[in-house]
Structure 1
Amino acid sequence: MTRKLRRATVHDVAAAAGVSRGTVSRVLNGGYVSAEARTAIEAAIAEVGYVPNTAARNLVMRRSHAIGFLALEPQSLLLEDPNIGAIMLGANAVLSVADYQMVNLVIDSARDTERVARYLSGGFVDGAIILSARTHDPIIRVIADLGLPATFVGHPADLSRGIPFVGIDNAGSARALTTRLMATGRRTIGMIAAAVDRDSGADRLIGFREALGDRFDPALVAEVPLYDFSCGVKGMRTLLAQDPAIDGVFAASDAVAAGAMEALRDAGRTVPDDIGIVGFDDSSWAMRTQPPLSTVHQPATDIGRAAADLVLRQVRGEDHTAASMILESPIVWRTSA
């Protein structure tokens, strides 16, 4: 019969190090001990193979040492959108250094919202990073009612109760990019406006409209639901049908722009000779298109890092009043326009 190996305990460490159990506990909990005692305890931990019982410690401290990463996007977009991955990796890098586990939670339906709300209420995470919340999204109220430390990526219009956010100036960047597209001599400019039910999409449409001023034609705005390739194809076909003379297009994301360029090739139109096109994000999509895409650089990794830092500051009880951040998002001009 195989005998089950006994798990090493704090008592074993104390005996091996020649110190009290209380001294070992102080080292494990980050307290002060002498350098000699710390060295002896660390050597004893290695000798006896002690592994801290994190679950028990977290139960006592009422901490999970986990942060939820809530992505309010269709599952298909999670796999296609490189910005989401970059934000996630940026957040994880900061959480890892702080010895926190990131728990990924996908919300793609009302049932998902209810399930995640129960999970958050159960104390399984110490805080949350919320990506792509729409205005009046139920998860906003859930987070606020729980008083859970949280940071939003983006800022829905009804975001309140002191919950900080990290984002970019979508309207200002869209306005600057559209202005530069106009400066290339394009006369009939349309937009494939994606995700206008959230702040990023709505603000990019606002910036586009402001840049065009009196030249803005609402008939040359093709609204599509998602920042993805297939929506770009659909949106471009809509614009071509609306006005075949269109010679400039602002696509609300790089993936949307890539889809638009596919539709233009199918229609026998060349970029940039017939139509100049610009995107948004400066993601991997921007360099995969032919020609390479003029776009706005969204610092996705830095956004993730900043969001994680803001959550951890709240978890630690640090003052986070007016901690929301707007990061720079410069134009990257290539040859698609």
Structure 2
Amino acid sequence: MSTDRPRQKRATIIDVAREAGVSRGTVSRVINGERYVSAESQSAIEAAIAKVGYLPNTAARNLVMQRTLAVAFVVHEPASLFAEDPNIGAIMLGANATLSDADYQMVLLIVDSERDTQRVSRYLSGGFVDGVIIVSARAYDPITRVVEKIGLPAAFVGHPPDLPQIPFVGIDNRSSARSITERLIATGRSRIGMIAAALDRDSGADRLAGFRDALGDRFDENLVESVPLYEFSAGVSAMQELLKREPDIDGVFAASDAVAAGAMNALRAAGRSIPRDVGIVGFDDSTWALRTKPTLSTVHQPAQGLGEAAAASILGQLRGEPPQLGGILLETPVVWRGSA
């Protein structure tokens, strides 16, 4: 004997019209938010919808409107770094909050391999989303090329240098890095190095440029150690290399808080006191900055605000508003704490 429950029939627009005593066209106008429906009919239809349990067929409606009401959020980072970097999560939450307020869904897509690149490119080309927010795009990125080719509304968090005319939101990484390096110089340090990260994207390259600007003629290439990603383990290994090569180093600018936290771990293991022997600063003002001992001097990056601004840019484009091609830059104050 079968124990399967009979499938309940889904209420239709016809059921609503019959219950409300109006035409299907009138019900359709109310569901689609159109005008020219009397207050009496509106009330009757709303009561009928509640009584019969009608749920609009969103897929069919979106097909007619040629809209999916979904926006992709593409992150070009390894899955391990996605879990480690609080900035990405904050950007994502900011974007989701803004999209949610506009009744849009956000679809998360992580690019961690060449296969992911091909898969995500096919997905974006398939018409499954109305727009895309791209985080951590590299120069000459194939996904960016797909977005350009199909004309998909897009907003970048950060600014790939090969695309001067794209809508983007970001921060002035170069001037921010210069400001915090100048603050570190002002503490009296004379051998200041940098752990540079992610030099294949604008944020990493600009932070190194700002560091070089601040030091001017005192810049020493031997005091720079580069790593591929903004991650804790990279900070540990890079600091070990710097200490081995330049043992008299007394100041460090790390390209992110996670990198700085790793560097501090390596300094303590080498018997160096922070900030007495070595002053260290980071970048982001993430949760990493408050976990270190002493707490980390850093640049405040408004990660959630970046996500909100990127989502607002997409929604504006979908409303037919021209994007701000010059980009939107948010402020990044220096936050001074005990590490320097």
Aligned: 1:62 with 2:38: no
Alignment of 1:3-42 (within 5 A): 3-32=6-35, 33-42=37-46
Q: C-alpha displacement at 1:323, in angstroms? A: 6.1
Amino acid at match of 2:48: A
Match of 2:272? 269
TM-score by length of 1: 0.97
In the alignment, which of 181, 185, 189 is matched to residue 184 of structure 2? 181
Counterparts of 1:39 and 1:95, CA distance in 2: 29
Match of 2:130? 126
Counterparts of 2:20 and 2:208, CA distance in 1: 66
Q: C-alpha displacement at 1:61, in angstroms? A: 1.6
Match of 1:282? 285
Q: C-alpha displacement at 1:3, in angstroms? A: 2.8
Counterparts of 2:75 and 2:83, CA distance in 1: 12
Counterparts of 1:146 and 1:311, CA distance in 2: 15
1:275-308 alpha-carbon deviations (Å, 9 max, x no partner): 0000000000000000000000000000000000
Counterparts of 2:246 and 2:126, CA distance in 1: 54
Match of 2:242? 239
Counterparts of 1:40 and 1:262, CA distance in 2: 67
Q: C-alpha displacement at 1:223, in angstroms? A: 0.2
1:15-61 alpha-carbon deviations (Å, 9 max, x no partner): 22222211111111121123332222222111110111111111122
SS of corresponding position for 1:156: coil
Moved over 6 A (4+): none
Alignment of 1:65-76 (within 5 A): 65-76=69-80
Aligned: 1:52 with 2:56: yes
Q: C-alpha displacement at 1:63, in angstroms? A: 1.2
1:119-165 alpha-carbon deviations (Å, 9 max, x no partner): 111100110000000111111111100100000000010114x4200
Match of 1:116? 120
Amino acid at match of 2:62: N
Asked if 1 retains the 8 angstrom alpha-carbon contact of 2:168 and 2:325, the reply is no
Higher mean C-alpha deviation, range 302-311 or range 34-43:
34-43
Count of equivalent residues = 336
Alignment of 1:129-144 (within 5 A): 129-144=133-148
In the alignment, which of 83, 92, 100 is matched to residue 79 of structure 1? 83
Counterparts of 1:150 and 1:10, CA distance in 2: 36
Aligned: 1:294 with 2:297: yes
Amino acid at match of 2:125: S
In the alignment, which of 322, 327, 331 is matched to residue 328 of structure 1? 331
SS of corresponding position for 1:230: helix
Amino acid at match of 1:69: F
Asked if 2 retains the 8 angstrom alpha-carbon contact of 1:291 and 1:336, the reply is yes
1:73-101 alpha-carbon deviations (Å, 9 max, x no partner): 01100000000000000000011111111
Counterparts of 1:3 and 1:170, CA distance in 2: 60
Change (3 A) 1:217 1:323: closer
1:228-250 alpha-carbon deviations (Å, 9 max, x no partner): 10000011111111111100000
Over the matched positions of the two proteins, sequence identity in percent amounts to: 69
Match of 1:145? 149
Asked if 2 retains the 8 angstrom alpha-carbon contact of 1:248 and 1:275, the reply is yes
Q: C-alpha displacement at 1:4, in angstroms? A: 2.1
1:175-200 alpha-carbon deviations (Å, 9 max, x no partner): 00000000000110000001011000
Asked if 2 retains the 8 angstrom alpha-carbon contact of 1:310 and 1:323, the reply is no
SS of corresponding position for 2:285: coil
Counterparts of 1:258 and 1:42, CA distance in 2: 57
Match of 1:251? 254
Counterparts of 1:126 and 1:311, CA distance in 2: 9
In the alignment, which of 301, 309, 314 is matched to residue 306 of structure 1? 309
SS of corresponding position for 2:47: helix
Higher mean C-alpha deviation, range 26-35 or range 288-297:
26-35
- Which ranges in structure 2 are unaligned for 5 or more consecutive residues? none
SS of corresponding position for 1:209: helix
Q: C-alpha displacement at 1:222, in angstroms? A: 0.3
Asked if 2 retains the 8 angstrom alpha-carbon contact of 1:286 and 1:294, the reply is yes
